[in-house]
Amino acid sequence: MLSHDLPETSAPPAGAATMRYRVRHTTRYEYGEDVPVAHHLLHLTARPHPLQRVRRSQLTITPATALRADHTDYFGNALIYVAVQEPHSSFEITAESEVEVFAAPRRDPSATPPWEAVRESLRGLTGPDDGADIVQYAFDSALVTVSPDLADYARPSFTPGRPVAEASIDLIRRVHRDFAFDPSATTVATPLSVVMRQRRGVCQDFAQVVIGCLRAQGLPARYVSGYLRTLPPPGKPRLVGADVSHAWASVWCGGGTGWLDLCPTNDRPTDQDFITIAWGRDYADVSPVRGVLMGGAGHALTVSVDVEPLEQAAE
């Protein structure tokens, strides 16, 4: 067993309501033949930030690993490298954590700046101290390349002078309406152009459609991976994607507002039902498990996620 306890690296906003969760995420690979050596990169540790505190994090790996190294990646996410150096026919990782999620201050989408003003504010930024780290999310990335189709789809939401948050919320509403949730329609390798054409996919696809549309308007947008609470509050509908890793998009709304996280799969801004693991430019930056194997002759993959609410309280 590999485990470590993380410090409480963020304090909740004053008076914020708090949800505490226990998260268990198991990923299992069954190989067609023994794998003598394997190297893996893992994005499975919840990310502390101003609206999320990680109280405990533990990683259990079978078979035992010969090497482990904990890093912080370029985007500030926890990245763990492990190596298995004995023959094995299966590989299983269970990530467990306890996380607190704080209620965000209420925002009025109509009070955010016009989207054109946010776009123009990015001009001339050159270094990390003046926001150039935000600008990087406005450019093409490995899996999200701006295209005429994305620009055309975004245009009805981004009318002249419209507040950036209001326009972005309208965009996810349209994606939710126009795209069907269909786990059989795509894989992680399906190009965005195919998703746009067939209008079907999963949360990863919908997040990247939204990111591409936002970037087509010159706006920074990032990909966020995480989880949804498995059991909804009494009387509330169950969210789509609650039994697997989830993904959503985040748009930069200017210095006075910051980042706004939006879930097109469920047509809503994120709230205390959402737990953040990592963010980057697209799925390729934050894939939960990435590996290099010797042998294996193919594999079967199973994933299970359980997000258990523990308590709700005011700080």
Question: Given this model, what pLDDT does residue 128 score?
Answer: 62
Question: Given this model, what pLDDT does residue 283 score?
Answer: 97
Instruction: Tell me the C-alpha distance between 96 and 46, whole Å.
Output: 10
pLDDT tens for each residue of 178-227: 999 999 999 999 999 999 999 999 999 999 999 999 999 999 999 999 99
32 touches 295 (CB < 8 A): no
Q: Can you name the CATH fold of 2-102+287-314? A: Immunoglobulin-like (2.60.40)
The mean pLDDT value for 28-55 works out to 95
211 touches 222 (CB < 8 A): yes
Q: Is the pLDDT of residue 1 over 60?
A: no
Q: Is the pLDDT of residue 313 over 80?
A: no
Q: Is the pLDDT of residue 13 over 90?
A: no
Q: What are φ and ψ of residue 56, in 5° steps? A: -155, 145
Question: Given this model, what pLDDT does residue 17 score?
Answer: 82
DSSP state of 85: -
Listed range (74-88, 152-166, 293-307) with the worst mean pLDDT:
293-307
Q: Can you name the CATH fold of 109-270? A: C8orf32 fold (3.10.620)
163 touches 115 (CB < 8 A): yes
Question: Given this model, what pLDDT does residue 238 score?
Answer: 74
The mean pLDDT value for 224-248 works out to 83
Map out the domains of the chain as residue ranges. 2-102+287-314, 109-270
206 touches 241 (CB < 8 A): no
pLDDT band of 239, cuts 50, 70, 90: confident
DSSP letters, 169-229, are HHHHHHHHHHSEE-TTS--TT--HHHHHHH-EE-HHHHHHHHHHHHHHTT--EEEEEEEE-
pLDDT band of 3, cuts 50, 70, 90: very low
Question: Given this model, what pLDDT does residue 48 score?
Answer: 96
Same fold, 2-102+287-314 and 109-270: no
Question: Given this model, what pLDDT does residue 5 score?
Answer: 32
pTM of the model: 0.91
Instruction: Tell me the C-alpha distance between 106 and 91, whole Å.
Output: 43
pLDDT band of 256, cuts 50, 70, 90: confident
Question: Given this model, what pLDDT does residue 241 score?
Answer: 66
